[in-house]
């Protein structure tokens, strides 16, 4: 099997992303030659508006494809790939359809196959792109603004969800709680991480901060198995603020409060993973690696907690580079490559394939 070129497109949410990968199936070496992204700025709206995201992709995708293919052609010779990989879902229908339709059109025009790739599969497989130590079976904790999910993977096509959030994602909770206590920025979870960096003990006694009743949801024996849950953290922060408006706190109390909220949210993640491990230890027996990816995986306190709690279960902890963790076309290209190779190149989507919302 010879070297092949892949054009990858991802438009499931608000990032228009196009990548070019050069893959050698024999050596399993894959080079990312291009990784381009145009992000819709949704900060002013306070969130993503589906119609705006749809319009954004319509305006950006074709020229981004042109930019990538032209650069590849000028630098490496050919601007025509052997395979096109595109996100099929889950995501917003309008956004997905822009990427899928462009991929279909290019597939017809160039007479090359295309593969519709599951977005979550992209997140799960991309750590294997440049870390050959991530071997089957492995466990992934995907923690971002949109996901909080624990998955056990045994092969390219075999993934079991061990735990997922029943409401919002961990990053979303960090962002919303941070905003409630007055932090501002594009990524409040990241601000919160930075702000609390020098707090040694988040649970240090304080007559005011002690009034916050932070939960650790679904950890009672009966609700043990239900999943992660983060919505209650926001409620408890709101209730505390009603009692103690932010401007009445000293600077030290404010920081202690921030650190305590952050710690409680991260502790919830680790507690719930602990329950899964205790409940089904056999699932983890052969898994040497824990991959932690997504925006929240940048948090050093989360990394520390995971390594402290699960060092007897996993011998390796992997944190893929953040530009591969956030939504990007490289992960779609790589997941498509793993599927393509696994099927000895006998896999392609039909031209009538539709986007999948879920
Ligand atoms: O994977 P990501 O960049 O994008 C999507 O979710 O689409 O994740 C973004 C999330 C945000 O909620 C952000 O606040 C959070 O990851 N985040 C962090 C840190 N950096 C980003 N949360 C905690 N600590 C960080 N250092
Ligand atoms: Zn994603």
Structural domains in the chain, CATH included, are: 4-131+323-342 (3.30.420.40), 138-319 (3.30.420.40)
Would you state the structure tokens that stand for residue 226, as one six-digit string?
A: 């239900």
pLDDT category, 216, cuts 50, 70, 90?
confident
ipTM of predicted assembly, 2 dp: 0.98
Instruction: Answer whether 216's CB lies under 8 Å from 228's CB.
Output: no
Distance from the Cα of residue 192 to its chain's centroid = 19
State whether the beta carbon of 328 lies less than 6 angstroms from ligand 1. Answer: no
pLDDT category, 324, cuts 50, 70, 90?
very high
Pick the closest to residue 218 from 285, 165, 290 (CA basis).
165
* Residue range 173-194: mean pLDDT, rounded: 95
Give residue 43's pLDDT. Answer: 63
| 272 CA → ligand 2 middle, Å | 22
Pick the closest to residue 192 from 328, 295, 90, 331 (CA basis).
295
Would you state the structure tokens that stand for residue 20, as one six-digit string?
A: 């070019």
Ligand sitting nearest the alpha carbon of 171: 1
Ligand 1 atom nearest the C-alpha of 325 is 1
Mean pLDDT over the full length of the chain: 94
Distance CA 257, CA 61 (A): 43
pLDDT category, 70, cuts 50, 70, 90?
very high
pLDDT category, 113, cuts 50, 70, 90?
very high
Residue 159, phi then psi, degrees to nearest 5: -135, 135
CB neighbour list of residue 235: distance below 8 Å, 6 or more residues apart = none
Give residue 32's pLDDT. Answer: 97
Ligand 1 atom nearest the C-alpha of 147 is 6
Nearest CA to ligand 1 atom 3: 295
Task: Could you list the beta-strand ranges (E) of the chain.
Answer: 4-10, 15-24, 29-39, 83-89, 114-118, 138-143, 148-155, 158-164, 289-293, 316-318
Which segments of 77-187 does DSSP mark as H helices, in order? 93-110, 119-125, 127-130, 170-180
What percentage of the chain reaches a pLDDT higher than 90? Answer: 88
Between 183-187, 198-202, 239-243, 247-251, the lowest mean confidence (pLDDT) is in 183-187
């Amino acid at each position: 099997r010879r070297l092949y070129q892949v054009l990858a497109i991802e438009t499931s949410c608000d990032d228009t992303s196009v990548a070019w990968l050069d893959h050698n199936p024999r050596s399993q070496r894959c080079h990312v030659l291009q990784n381009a992204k145009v992000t819709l700025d949704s900060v002013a709206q306070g969130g993503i508006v589906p119609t705006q995201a749809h319009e954004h992709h319509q305006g950006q995708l074709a020229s981004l494809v042109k930019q990538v293919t032209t650069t590849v052609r000028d630098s490496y010779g050919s601007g025509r790939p052997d395979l096109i990989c595109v996100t099929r879902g889950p995501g917003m229908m309008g956004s997905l359809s822009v990427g899928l339709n462009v991929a279909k059109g290019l597939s017809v025009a160039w007479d090359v196959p295309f593969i519709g790739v599951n977005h979550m599969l992209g997140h799960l497989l991309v750590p294997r792109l440049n870390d050959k130590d991530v071997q089957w079976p492995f466990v992934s904790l995907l923690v971002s603004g949109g996901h909080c999910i624990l998955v056990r993977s045994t092969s390219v096509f075999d993934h079991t969800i061990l735990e997922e959030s029943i409401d919002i994602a961990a990053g979303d909770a960090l962002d919303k709680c941070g905003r409630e206590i007055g932090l501002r920025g594009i990524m409040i979870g990241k601000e919160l991480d930075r702000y609390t960096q020098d707090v040694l003990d988040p649970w240090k006694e304080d007559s005011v901060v002690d009034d916050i009743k932070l939960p650790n949801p679904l950890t009672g024996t009966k609700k043990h198995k239900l999943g992660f849950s983060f919505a209650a953290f926001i409620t408890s922060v709101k209730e505390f603020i009603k009692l103690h408006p932010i401007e009445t706190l000293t600077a030290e109390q404010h920081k202690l409060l921030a650190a305590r909220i952050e710690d409680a949210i991260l502790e919830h993640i680790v507690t719930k993973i602990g329950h899964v491990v205790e409940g089904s230890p056999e699932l983890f027996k052969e898994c040497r690696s824990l991959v932690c990816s997504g925006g929240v995986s940048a948090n050093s306190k989360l990394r520390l907690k995971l390594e402290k709690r699960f060092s007897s279960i996993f011998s390796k902890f992997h944190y893929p580079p953040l530009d591969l963790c956030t939504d990007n076309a490289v992960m779609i290209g790589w997941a498509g490559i793993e599927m393509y190779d696994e099927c000895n190149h006998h896999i392609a989507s039909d031209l009538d394939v539709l986007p999948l919302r879920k």
